[in-house]
């Protein structure tokens, strides 16, 4: 989940899941000696924490000129793709902490007559995301965590299965389109319903990142939801 630029990272005040938020389902099995689960989880959590800090520092170090160039390049790649052209209802996010700014993509989508949405935190037993309609210029209201959201009183929230395409922020990704998120698990919980489907066409899930956020390989967990692709300023990984 993202906050508006210039504000403290609101996720730091939201309880995080210990295992973080990553994507790509696999059913690999293997032999060899098995370490204790506690040791494996402890080491993994420590390594992922370090990786998050490293990648977030790298993207924050990008200059304003680089950020603008990357944002425009992502917009060009997305808006010319068949996937984007066929999608009518698209969810975006508000960038923060050096994330790719999707404003050029959102403005282009709006001019093409597409319905644009932004995430809102659903206050259930466990925090997840619903999505509210948004048009450029609409007023955004800070939620209880200081994260800007559309006014749900103006447009009723839509559940994720009502969308064609969800553009998702991430901290790191690999060439298999595995995703490492901020660690809050919001998108994992939101998209958990996809585990009950063997095949699905919507919503299509596309990660958005800078090239500097790509790593060799990320760990995968059983609850992770697969991405169909990742778009950076130079490539469309699928």
What is the per-residue pLDDT across 51-65, written as a single tens digit (0 to 9) for each?
999 999 999 999 999
Residue 200 has pLDDT above 80, yes or no: no
Residue 9 lies in a domain: no
Expressed as residue numbers, the domain containing 221 is 36-237
pTM for the whole thing? 0.80
Residue 24 has pLDDT above 50, yes or no: no
Residue 17 lies in a domain: no
Residue 19 lies in a domain: no
In the chain, how many domains are there? 1
Residue 91 lies in a domain: yes
> Strand (E) positions, 28-162?
89-91, 115-122, 128-133, 140-142, 148-150
Residue 117 has pLDDT above 90, yes or no: yes
Residue 21 lies in a domain: no
Which tens digits make up the pLDDT trace of 57-93? 999 999 999 999 999 999 999 999 999 999 999 999 9
- 172, β-bridge pairs: 180
Residue 112 lies in a domain: yes
Residue 4 lies in a domain: no
Q: Is 48 helix (H, G, I), strand (E, B) or coil?
A: helix
C-beta neighbour count of 19 within 10 angstroms:
17
Residue 18 lies in a domain: no
The CA distance from 177 to 229, in Å, is 6
CATH number at residue 133: 3.40.50.10420
Helices and strands, number each (H, E), in the chain: 5, 12
């Amino acid at each position: 989940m993202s906050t508006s630029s210039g504000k403290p990272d609101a996720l730091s005040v939201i309880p995080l899941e210990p295992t973080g938020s990553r994507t790509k389902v696999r059913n690999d099995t293997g032999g060899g000696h098995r370490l204790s689960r506690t040791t494996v989880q402890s080491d993994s959590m420590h390594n992922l924490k370090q990786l998050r800090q490293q990648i977030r520092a790298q993207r924050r170090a990008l200059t304003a000129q680089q950020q603008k160039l990357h944002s425009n390049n992502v917009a060009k790649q997305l808006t010319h793709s068949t996937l984007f052209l066929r999608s009518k209802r698209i969810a975006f996010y508000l960038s923060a902490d050096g994330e790719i700014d999707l404003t050029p993509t959102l403005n282009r989508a709006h001019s093409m007559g597409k319905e644009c949405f932004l995430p809102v935190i659903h206050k259930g037993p466990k925090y997840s995301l619903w999505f509210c309609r948004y048009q450029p210029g609409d007023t955004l209201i800070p939620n209880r965590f200081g994260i800007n959201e559309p006014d749900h009183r103006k447009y009723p929230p839509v559940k994720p299965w009502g969308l064609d395409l969800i553009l998702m922020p991430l901290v790191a990704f690999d060439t298999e389109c595995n995703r490492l998120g901020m660690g809050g698990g919001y998108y994992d919980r939101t998209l958990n319903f996809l585990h009950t489907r063997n095949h699905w066409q919507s919503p299509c899930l596309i990660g958005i990142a800078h090239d500097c956020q790509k790593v060799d390989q990320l760990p995968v967990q059983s609850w992770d939801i697969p991405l169909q692709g990742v778009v950076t300023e130079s490539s469309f990984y699928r």
